[in-house]
Amino acid sequence: MDCKAFVLKQAEGIRRTVGDATAISALSGGVDSSVVTVLGHLAIGKQMKVIFIDDGLMRQDEPQEVKGLFAKLGIQVRVLNAKKRFFDAFHGLTDPEEKRKAFRDTFYKVFGDAVKASGARFLLQGTIAPDIIETKKGVKTQHNVLEQIGIDPESGYGFGVVEPIKTLYKPDVRRVARFLCLPPSISQRMPFPGPGLSARCMGEVTPPRIAIVRKACLIVEQEMAGSKAFQTFGVLLADRPTGITKDGRRREGDAIAIRCVDSKNAVTAQATKISWARLVRMRDRILKEIPTVTKVLCDLTPKPPSTIEYI
Ligand code: XMP
């Protein structure tokens, strides 16, 4: 892939589409939205405002880390606290597709409000090829794909969407990120789903349940650091497995699945081979640091038939 030609072409495309208007970049800190943010910065400079929506579904300390990282690149990021709106939208929902749709609708409403308040006419977004393919095929509703499912963002939410990397797969996005001199913590960043930890929380999405899965993800990521896995995370299942207290009483608790996959482009995936010692370390930390857990499982399912995430 010719990264220079790609960057020049997309920057020109953004300039042409946005014209004299202003645009907002929806930064999540992942490699996709980071590349789009830098492309927008190169293309239209101060005509672009960068917003990071803190939906309450990010990994440990992620919003502040992302803000700090972009400040070093000379790009100011506004963190918008929208936690309550997202948790309200999830209230009472347990069906995976309903949860995805609730996330998507809230995401666009929150952004719609931010776009309106700022007077911006466009939203720059890091949709990539697999997002579109999976949404079109009906595998699952990716939060960042609208036109493909028949929603016109202009009439539905009040702004135009610009998607400069929608023809790329992950390896090429990473190439472009390196070409743009983004640091490895971004160019090599592990993929994280748009709906955040809600995609790793079976059953209802509530602040205490998200706190549990956030901790599980942190433990699995830390213990798998240095591995070549494509994604490593923990999942909070909806089951309430029976456990036993130290003094022999029965209790119900939480079930955590460890999910680590190898993949090239997220279209297919295999379970990562993990040593027994590493698995035991993860299990012990999960049991110690999340005292409500009564079951730790390891998910070995490839994609297909599974998907990488749980919703
Ligand atoms: P699945 O679970 O479909 O995930 O096998 C494939 C890859 O996409 C990520 N993923 C998402 N990314 N918006 C995104 O930007 C989403 O709604 C979304 N859902 C899943 C997932 O983490 C994996 O890398």
Q: Is the pLDDT score of 143 beyond 60?
A: no
Selected residue with higher pLDDT from 307 and 117: 307
Q: How confident is the model at residue 152 (pLDDT cuts 50, 70, 90)?
A: low
Nearest atom in ligand 1 to 104's CA: 17
Distance 193 CA to ligand 1 centre (A): 5
Residue whose Cα lies nearest atom 13 of ligand 1: it is: 194
The predicted model scores a pTM of 0.88
Q: Is 279 exposed, middle or buried (0-12, 13-18, 19+ CB in 10 A)?
A: middle
For residue 305, whether the previous peptide bond is cis, meaning omega lies within 30 degrees of 0, is yes
pLDDT tens string 206-231: 999 999 999 999 999 999 999 999 99
Task: Give the span between the Cα atoms of 106 and 109, in whole angstroms.
Answer: 5
Q: How confident is the model at residue 2 (pLDDT cuts 50, 70, 90)?
A: very high
Nearest atom in ligand 1 to 126's CA: 15
Distance 252 CA to ligand 1 centre (A): 31
Give the chain's mean pLDDT: 92
What's the Cα-to-Cα distance from 203 to each of 42, 199, 254, 303, 308, rounded to whole Å?
42, 10, 12, 22, 17
121 lines ligand 1 (CB under 6 A): no
pLDDT at 33: 94
Per cent of the chain over pLDDT 90 is 81
302 lines ligand 1 (CB under 6 A): no
221 lines ligand 1 (CB under 6 A): no
Nearest atom in ligand 1 to 310's CA: 2
In this prediction, residues 86-94 reach a mean pLDDT of 98
pLDDT tens string 266-306: 889 999 999 999 999 999 999 999 999 999 999 999 999 99
217 lines ligand 1 (CB under 6 A): no
